[in-house]
Copies of this chain bind each other. A is one copy, B any other.
Amino acid sequence: MFAEPTLLERHPCFGGVQEVWEHASKATGTPMRFALFTPPKPGPRPTLWFLSGLTCSEQNVITKGGLQQHAARLGLALVCPDTSPRGLNLPGEADRWDFGLAASYYLDATQSPWSDHYRMERWLIHELPALLAQHFPRLDLGRQSVTGHSMGGHGALVLALRHPGRFRSVSAIAPICHPSACPWGEYAFTQFFGFDRALWAAHDATALVRGGAKAPPLFIDQGDADPFLETQLRPEDLRAACAEAGQLLTLRSWPGYDHGYYFVATVAGDHVEHAAAALVD
């Protein structure tokens, strides 16, 4: 049983309702926020998770992503979690924009001081779905899909690969595809996991696919003018791993598009439709 979550915001939006909730998380030991969009369709709604990128909170995608109109049309609920625990003031937590606060990589850290609170995977896979099932009968947690942007695209890919059967579909917008081999990921994984490269591989989409993990067909959109493409995102590494391992992947390259929310909004409809095709009968 979970304590009642607290409603922080509520706005009608495209005929549905956009809310922001907070609850006391046992996984992280902190209050955790998530945004919930409920479409104007009856019955328990299938649920699409959207995981956000570095520096974001739950606010960015709900104000700038433009997903709600598509979720309203297709009858999906959207759950948009915050990107890390907050309010802890751990040493080094806020020193870098690409690590710590708003940069959890959606994993359970094993190294101090992160391991007591940066337990995002258990929050997203166990605690939050159970809380949603208990307090939000408007949602059908038997039908879940996942998507995300940048660090959140990494989260979507890795959670789908690590938890087969949980998500009926998975997609990502400009995801970090190979964190063990990029500066952002190398710093974060060293902090969260230390130097145990086996743990790194267990939270790296490219390494997981190479190791035989399976997910529903991967659907990825990537701008070709994204300044992080070559050094940080590395979708070609994932493409090679998928080709070798027989994991289905659709990787679309968008000429001229960059890494920001103008790109997210441009492809948002396609990612919600990709989820709806798997979730809505």
Mark A residues whose CB is within 8 Å of B.
11-15, 18, 63-64, 66, 68-69, 223, 225, 254-258, 260-263, 265-266
Task: Give the docked Cα–Cα distance between A11 and B263 (Å).
Answer: 8
Contacts of A223 in B (CB 8 A): 12
Write out the residue numbers on chain B whose beta carbons fall within 8 Å of the beta carbon of A262. 11-13, 18
Contact: A265 with B12, CB < 8 Å?
no
Q: How far is the CB of A101 from chain B (nearest CB, A)?
A: 22
Lowest 5 A-B CB distances belong to which pairs?
Answer: A11-B262, A13-B262, A12-B256, A12-B257, A63-B64
Chain B residue contacts of A256, Cβ below 8 A = 12
CB-based contact B263/A12 at 8 Å: yes
Q: Is the CB of B12 within 8 A of A266?
A: yes
Contact, CB under 8 Å: A12 / B69 = no
Distance between A66 CB and nearest chain B CB, rounded to angstroms: 5
A255 and chain B: residue at smallest CB distance: B12
Enumerate 29 A-B pairs (CB-CB under 8 Å) in ascending A order: A11-B257, A11-B258, A11-B260, A11-B262, A11-B263, A12-B225, A12-B255, A12-B256, A12-B257, A12-B258, A12-B262, A12-B263, A12-B266, A13-B262, A13-B263, A13-B265, A13-B266, A14-B265, A14-B266, A15-B266, A18-B262, A63-B63, A63-B261, A64-B64, A66-B66, A66-B265, A68-B265, A69-B265, A69-B266
